[in-house]
């Protein structure tokens, strides 16, 4: 891969466009296979698989194909008086060989979406799909192997605990993009630091929902339910817990219950309600059910890795369901009487990946957005900011470093290389020694 990149094969516009088109054609050719793999691994319906995985990837490819020429074009930058009459341009240089490590919850989309940025940025890429979602892992390997030379795009399969260190300890990648848990993200960051490899870390955290008494509760309930129980709650930006004003706590629970019944009916038989990824995750989630009073749901079936959409009133703020990222269909609900107390609860798990507030009051909205540091979020909605390819997606603090999506993926996988170009016709003597006090005054004026 290093030889292939250094030979310049990946740099040209025509090459990049052709590879993006090849990827799109390959994915469309395997569309049915993608649906089947995601159904096998996570119980996703065809519609959910398209909306949250394949559709996002296809849309991202189209965006890059339509805009790549403009993104690649050198951008003019202003030049200061000291450098007159020079001109400055910024070139977006490919980074080289990049490593993309994907998680199991959206195993197709969270590998392919960053790959698109790596391709459009002119790089070679090594891909590490999640071994937990085996059907998707096998399909990704098949698609990539059939479509691209391994000198250009390579898939490393197997146990991530072994494969990723083997890759990173024996080669210096020019960038690593990792999506997954905070604990594994820290380990990847440590390995990258040894070789001064830059990283993009898309991690998780406990993403809160604030519901004020003035919110449209029926609409809020539908949007919270959709964001929470999508993919059976196994979404990094899913609402992790609700902080609701005490006087509307019961009406909100009632509205959420109605939304669950409307969306899924008997969830165990619902085509639009998925399963827990494996038994290890299932047992962790069942443990959370003991951390409070079950308000709605709570049914489970280990043989089918099924846990019903569930709401719970936590025993206290130190129990596991309130200190660990849930990553499942269990939704704690906590009431508050003033926003300052609610903020203290959020700050116990600071810097969430996502933040959601429901209110009609613009002053309350402004207060929350100014007082909570978070990766991205919504006002009167949940999770749909992820689907906007005009904005970057990423975390802050414990929830991540850097971002991507749309044009930001291109910039993540390229280096902004500034170049100053100076003509030969103007060669003032004052720029060269000997300087003296008069020159100092002149330089002070020019630099100022």
For the annotated catalytic residues, the residue numbers are 202, 236
133: CB partners within 8 A, 6+ apart: 37, 41, 42, 104, 107, 277
**For residue 379, which of 397, 361, 406, 396 has the smallest C-alpha distance?**
361
């Amino acid at each position: 891969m290093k030889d292939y990149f250094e030979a310049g094969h990946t740099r040209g516009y025509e090459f990049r466009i052709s590879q993006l088109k090849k990827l799109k054609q390959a994915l469309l050719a395997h569309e049915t296979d993608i649906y089947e793999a995601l159904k096998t691994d996570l119980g996703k319906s065809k519609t959910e698989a398209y909306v949250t995985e394949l559709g996002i990837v296809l849309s991202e490819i189209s965006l890059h194909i339509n805009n790549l020429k403009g993104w690649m074009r050198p951008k003019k930058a202003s030049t200061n008086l000291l450098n007159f009459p020079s001109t400055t341009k910024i070139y977006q240089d490919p980074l080289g060989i990049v490593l993309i490590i994907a998680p199991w919850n959206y195993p197709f989309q969270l590998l392919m979406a960053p790959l698109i940025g790596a391709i459009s940025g002119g790089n070679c890429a090594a891909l590490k799909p999640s071994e937990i979602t085996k059907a998707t892992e096998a399909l990704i390997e098949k698609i990539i192997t059939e479509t691209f030379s391994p000198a250009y795009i390579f898939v490393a399969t197997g146990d991530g605990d072994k494969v990723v260190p083997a890759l990173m300890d024996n080669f210096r990648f020019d960038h690593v993009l990792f999506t997954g848990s905070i604990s594994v993200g820290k380990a990847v960051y440590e390995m990258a630091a040894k070789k001064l490899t830059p990283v993009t870390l898309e991690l998780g955290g406990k993403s809160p929902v604030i519901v004020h008494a003035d919110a449209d509760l029926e609409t809020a309930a539908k949007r919270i339910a959709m964001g929470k129980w999508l993919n059976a709650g196994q979404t990094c930006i899913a609402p992790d817990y609700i902080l609701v004003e005490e006087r509307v706590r019961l009406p909100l629970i009632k509205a959420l219950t109605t939304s669950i019944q409307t969306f899924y009916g008997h969830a165990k038989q619902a085509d639009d309600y998925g399963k827990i990824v494996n038994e290890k995750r299932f047992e962790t989630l069942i443990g959370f059910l003991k951390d409070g009073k079950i308000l709605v749901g709570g049914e489970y079936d280990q043989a089918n890795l099924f846990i019903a959409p569930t709401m719970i009133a936590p025993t206290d703020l130190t129990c596991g369901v309130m200190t660990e990222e849930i990553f499942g269909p269990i939704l704690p609900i906590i009431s508050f009487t003033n926003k300052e107390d609610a903020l203290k609860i959020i700050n116990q798990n600071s810097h969430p990946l996502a933040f959601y507030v429901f209110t009609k009051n613009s002053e309350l909205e402004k207060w929350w957005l100014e007082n909570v540091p978070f990766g991205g979020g919504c006002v009167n909605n949940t999770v749909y900011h992820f689907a906007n390819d005009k904005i970057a997606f990423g975390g802050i603090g414990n929830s991540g470093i850097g971002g991507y999506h749309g044009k930001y993926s291109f910039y993540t996988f390229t280096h902004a290389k500034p170049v100053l170009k100076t003509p030969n016709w103007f060669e003032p003597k004052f720029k060269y020694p000997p300087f003296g006090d008069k020159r100092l005054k002149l330089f002070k004026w020019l630099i100022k």
